[in-house]
Amino acid sequence: MGENHHDLRRGLLPRHVQFIALAGMIGTGIFKGSSDTLNLAGPSVVIAYLIGGLLLFIVMAALGEMATVYPNLNVQHLINKAFGFRISFIVGWLYWVNWVIVTVVELIASGSFLQYWFPNIPLWLLSLICTALIVSINLSQVKYYGELEFWFAGVKIIALIAFIILGSFILLGVFSSTIPVGFSNYTAHGGFFPHGISGTLSAFLVVMFSYGGAELIGIAVTETKDTKKVLPKIIKGTVWRVILFYILPILIICGIIPWDKVTTEESPFVQVFSITGLPGAAHVMNFVLLTAVLSAANSGIYATSRTLFTMSQTGEAPKAFSRTTKNGIPLNGIVITALCILVGVFLSYLTPDQVISYLMTIPGFTVLLLWISICCAQLKLRQQYTDTPFFRVKWYPYTTIFAITALTLIFITFIFNKQNVIGTSVCLIMVGLIAILSFIKKQKK
């Protein structure tokens, strides 16, 4: 059959890995989630994105440091090395559930964007077509996945640059539009902090969910050529680009549209493009949004199948998930993920929209837990290094401790927020069940 190999291929180039991480982070979080964060915090949401960006940088630096010391270990291996089987089991399965949910939502969203052009075709059928496309991409060689993700991410990045340029022209009065020229919208509608500091804090969960996906670098590391050389460069480059691609667009949206006029029905980006009056702008933006969600779904299937592969090697998942095709593709992991996605798409057909929005609180929750685990692993493993790595977290251990403290505070705030009762309950039950399973499951000797 040619399906009993047990290795992933190192077919990803540096540009692939850089864009995989960018693709994971620049998705619905910015294109759609920005309307939620603006409604929660107004213009002050920029501060939440800046602090989130700082925490992201520390987490990524910690990941980069560990990857230079242990170049053949991905995130899952590193957490296992630091804390052993049980913690690694819990974090791994949480991360898998996280990406399954994200992928389901992204594929349903892709169906809804296609309905813009094909309104008579039911949502479930369009979502199913998108699922078939994304699964088939992931069943091909990893270099083809990387190449497609490179172009997917490229479309999003070009769209964001175009948005920044067009938005700047509108703000500076280069384009004639109905909005007043200048920066009055930053302070005119209840001030820069319309809902106070608590409003800014409440936006953090969506912000953390938006930045989630950066850690895909730590999963792709075992399929990357010249890891030691390229990873530190990729991490440094990715972080400033993402902060740039979040902060500037948010500032432009706030400047053009009063924050309290940003609707959650459509993307703020579509609203701004509509103001420009450019012909076909809505169609172009809809295409970009479709590309964004397909890209995130593509990353999701990659993340879930590789997480299962890694866990099967340490006995945290069934051995069947360690089998790869002759092209180095973890087939069984992709198949089980695809089946879970089909169940998710079917549930979306049966259940009302708010069920999906409740589910969407889970990824923010699991990303926080994963980021805390990465920082804690770096604190623990730093003492065990045999060589001093050339890429290190600056001002260690204070920076890592700061990140752990800040992420834990955001996590606690999320749990005790009354608006997240259903999401929190689901998350805590899920963590409890996985923890119980970790005691039942025997470690591979």
Max mean pLDDT range (27-31, 163-167, 209-213, 320-324) = 163-167
Q: Where are the alpha helices (DSSP H) in 320-420?
A: 331-350, 353-359, 361-382, 398-415
Residues 6+ apart with CB under 8 A from 275: 170, 177, 178, 179, 256, 257
Q: What is the pLDDT of residues 109-122, one digit of tens each?
A: 888 888 888 888 88
Nearest to 229 by CA among 11, 13, 8: 13
The tokens describing 34, both together, are: 């920005």
pLDDT, tens only, 330-377:
788 888 888 988 888 787 677 655 555 666 667 778 888 889 999 999
Measured distance CA(242)–CA(253) in Å, rounded: 17
Q: What is the phi-psi region of residue 380: left when phi exceeds 0, alpha when psi lies from -120 to 50, beta otherwise?
A: alpha
Q: How far apart are CA 146 and CA 215, in angstroms?
A: 16
12 touches 220 (CB < 8 A):
yes
Q: Which residues contact 298 (CB under 8 A, 6 or more apart)?
A: 23, 134, 137, 138, 145, 148, 149, 152
pTM: 0.80
Please state which of the ranges 252-266, 317-331, 353-367 shows the lowest mean pLDDT. 353-367
Q: What is the pLDDT of residue 228?
A: 65
Which residue, chain included where needed, has tokens 């169940």?
A: 343
pLDDT at position 399: 93
Contacts of 75 (CB under 8 A, 6+ apart): 63, 215, 218, 219, 370, 374
Q: For residue 96, what are the contacts with CB-CB under 8 A and spacing of at least 6? A: 304, 307, 308, 311
Q: Which residue has the tokens 């089998």?
A: 323
State in Å, rounded, how far the first CA of the chain is from the last one: 28
Q: Which residues contact 196 (CB under 8 A, 6 or more apart)?
A: none
Q: What angle do CA 69, 307, 233 make, to 5 degrees?
A: 40
Count other Cβ atoms within 10 Å, centred on residue 194. 18
12-66 pLDDT per residue, tens = 566 666 666 666 667 667 776 777 778 778 888 888 888 888 888 888 888 888 8
pLDDT of residue 2: 40
Q: Rounded to whole angstroms, how far apart are CA atoms 243 and 34? A: 14
What is the average pLDDT across 175-198? 71
To the nearest 10°, the Cα dihedral for 161, 46, 212, 166?
-10
pLDDT higher than threshold 60 for residue 445: no
Which DSSP string do the residues of 228-248 spell out, in sequence order? HHHHHHHHHHHHHHHHHHHHH
Give the residue-averaged pLDDT of 147-155. Answer: 79
Residue 253 CA: distances (Å) to CA of 12, 209, 246, 262, 275: 35, 20, 11, 9, 11
Crossing angle, helix 33-41 and helix 45-69, to 10 degrees? 130
Nearest in space to 362 (alpha carbons), one of 95, 108, 21, 112: 95
Query: What residues does 5 pair with on adjacent strands?
Result: 324
Cβ atoms within 10 A of the Cβ of 81, count? 17
- Please report the domains of the chain, with CATH numbers, ordered by start residue: 14-440 (1.20.1740.10)
Calpha distance 195→180 (Å, rounded): 24
Instruction: Tell me: pLDDT of 297 over 80.
Output: yes
Most confident of the following: 4-8, 25-29, 86-90, 324-328 = 86-90
